[in-house]
Every structure is written in structure tokens, then in C-alpha cells.
Structure 1
């Protein structure tokens, strides 16, 4: 039997540009793509844990008026923001590394880029918003695989956020994620 390995996951190839020399999975954007790709990788592989690195919109963080776009946060609770029926919160079960930067993240299949959407997500108690986290956590929970999610904000998830600029921003954030990975996760 082969040795179990960690699976490094990104939603989008632009988030992974600084990781060309590291084995990883790019799941694709959105909850369905994330679910299918991660479930397939876990089912096919000998995975001991999953580490997700990527970008997210930031809507707020305790004690911060305008959160930094250069802080890496560890997601310790996930909720859905685009589902009309109540859904259970999902908590990643991997080791907590960032005691001072733990956050709740809301996931939905929409790029949050206006003040009304942002206010809705903030009202749910989330600090970050993405399009895959809840799906990753649900799949890992189903397969009983520990999960850690680390996100760096790409935008403020408000009227200033532009999906047109996101690709270039994500490539820049990939470099910051690589520095974090090399320091804390290798």
C-alpha cells in the first residue's frame, strides 16, 4: 500500500501559479466543480488530509474596520449564503495553525461584488466569502478526511470588487500563499 499524502487544492489555476513545482489539484470554480473534483481525488487517492489555499472576498473581521488584503486567514467554520433553506454549518477538522486569524466563511455560487450581497454575508456572521469552501468541507466530512482552509482576501466583496481584475489579483495572491505554504505547511 502506498504512503498517504496531503492533497493541496486550489479552486482556480490563477491561485496556483506560484505552485507549479508542487503537486496540487485545481478543482474548478463553484460548489459543484469543487465537490466533484475533490470527491474524485479522495476516492482515487490515498489522501491523509486536504489543504485548501486560495482567495476570498473579505466582508469583515473582529476588531477590524477595513480588513487587510494581505492577511492570511484560517477558515474554521463554513456556512452557505446562497441557499434558501437552512443548511448545517460545516467545520474543517484539520489542525488550527492561526489562532489570531480564525474566521467563518460563507460559500455561494456567485461572485459577491455589491454592498447588498456583502451586507447579507456579514449578517450571517461570516468574515470571508468564496465559491467552494463549503463544498470542500462537506466532501471531507463525508470521507472523514481532515481539512484545513487558508484564504487571503482578493477584494472587499463590495461595489469596488471587479471580476475583470480578479485573474491578475489572484496571481499576485498566489505568491503570498506560496510564502505562507513554505513557512507553515511544508
Structure 2
């Protein structure tokens, strides 16, 4: 993925900690930061593919819910914090993982750590939750750029989840993302 037509993207610098030697963009956390930073980068140079790597919370309680030790390719993104109906966005990049390793992600501008909110988000058909993917998908669609999103769950987005817990886990998750990137994307 060292070609100039692929852009590697992370939301948070800690998610990118294992990629210090690899060119990448850190957009910042949340939909606005994600959209503005990615759009600015795509306006600056020709990019054919955006690859997003990062963490997400698990909102599904189904028996086959995502594992905290597996990486999932995002097959669709919905918004969970927007009161008006918004379309489900499907990333236009190539699917490289089997169907069992794909997920629907819900995006909103809040770190989910509430059981009622988690249940409501799962009710949207989502398995995972984050704060940027919907924005990345929207920007890439408008620029006509292929998008692949790969997420590793960091927590269960429930009342026992804390920001401090994520701060401790994220560096290990970055190492797992680096191993995946080296094996499947580099």
C-alpha cells in the first residue's frame, strides 16, 4: 500500500501508533474532524483508494457478536445520532474478508458507554459503533474514491466501558491492526 494512490487513515493518533514508519493521515475524532480532514486531503492530491484502520465498540449481543480479538471489514455504515433519516452508506472498496468477518457500523459523535444507548444502536442493525466511519464513507462517495474500512473492537460499549480503559487498550489494538495491514494490505 505504499503507492501514492492509496491513503491510509486513522481517526486517533494512538490508533496509528504502530504505523509511525508508514505514511498516513490522522483526521481527529468525530464526524466533523473526519470529514474535513479527509476532504482536504482528497482535494490536495489524487487518491484512488482510502483505507481506514481503527477501533470500534461492540453493540451486538447476538451469539455471533464481534470478537474483541478479530478485525472486521465494514460493509455498511449508518448514523445513530442524527434525528432525520439518513441513508445507509456502503463503502465502494473491494471486500477482502469473508462475510463472517464483516460488520455494520453505526457512527455518532459520542463515545458510547451506556447500556440503553448501546441497545438502541444495535436496533439499527449495527454490530459495531464508532465516531467517524459514516463521515469517511460520505466524503469518499462524493469524491468518487474507493473506501475500505477495517475495525478491531476495543470494548463492548456498555456501562462498564471507560475512556481510560480505551486509552490503555488502544496501543495493543494498533499493533493488531499493523499485523493485519502487513499480512493483508501492504
Query: Same fold by TM (over 0.5)?
Result: yes
Residue equivalent to 1:14: 14
Structure 1: 4+ residue segments shifted above 3 A: none
Pairing of 1:109-120 with structure 2 (within 5 A): 109-120=109-120
Aligned position for 1:172: 172
Instruction: Provide the C-alpha distance between the structure 2 equivalents of 1:182 and 1:107, rounded to a whole number of angstroms.
Output: 27
Q: CA deviation at 1:67?
A: 3.5
User: How many angstroms does 1:61 deviate by?
Assistant: 7.3
**TM-score (structure 1 length as normaliser):** 0.95
Distance 2:13 2:22 in 1: 13
Count, aligned residues? 183
Structure-2 residue corresponding to 1:5: 5
TM-score of the aligned structures, taking structure 2 as reference length: 0.95
**Cα distance in 2 for residues equivalent to 1:5 and 1:78:** 24
Q: Residues 27 and 38 of structure 2 are in contact (CA less than 8 Å); yes or no, is this contact kept in structure 1?
A: yes
SS at match of 1:46: coil
How far apart, CA to CA, are the structure 1 residues paired with 2:131 and 2:120? Answer: 15
- Name the CA distance, whole Å, in 2 between partners of 1:71 and 1:86: 31
Is 1:144 the counterpart of 2:144? The answer is yes
Gaps of 5+ in 2: none
Give the Cα–Cα distance (whole angstroms) in 1 for the partners of residues 26 and 101 of structure 2: 25
CA distance in 1, matches of 2:11, 2:66: 23
Partner of 1:73: 72
**Contact in 2 for aligned 1:154/1:170 (Cα 8 Å):** yes
CA distance in structure 2 between the aligned counterparts of 1:55 and 1:67, rounded to whole angstroms? 12
CA contact (8 A) 1:61 1:67 kept: no
* Counterpart secondary structure, 1:141: helix
Q: How does 1:73-152 map to 2 (within 5 A)?
A: 73-99=72-98, 100-152=100-152
Distance change >3 Å, CA 7–CA 38, structure 1 → 2: same
Equivalent residues of 1:31, 1:132 under 8 A apart: yes
After TM superposition, the structure 1 = structure 2 runs for residues 155-170 of structure 1, keeping only pairs within 5 Å, are: 155-170=155-170
Q: CA deviation at 1:154?
A: 0.6
Q: Match of 1:33, SS? A: helix
RMSD: 1.3
For residues 61 and 68 of structure 2, what CA distance do their matches in structure 1 show? 12
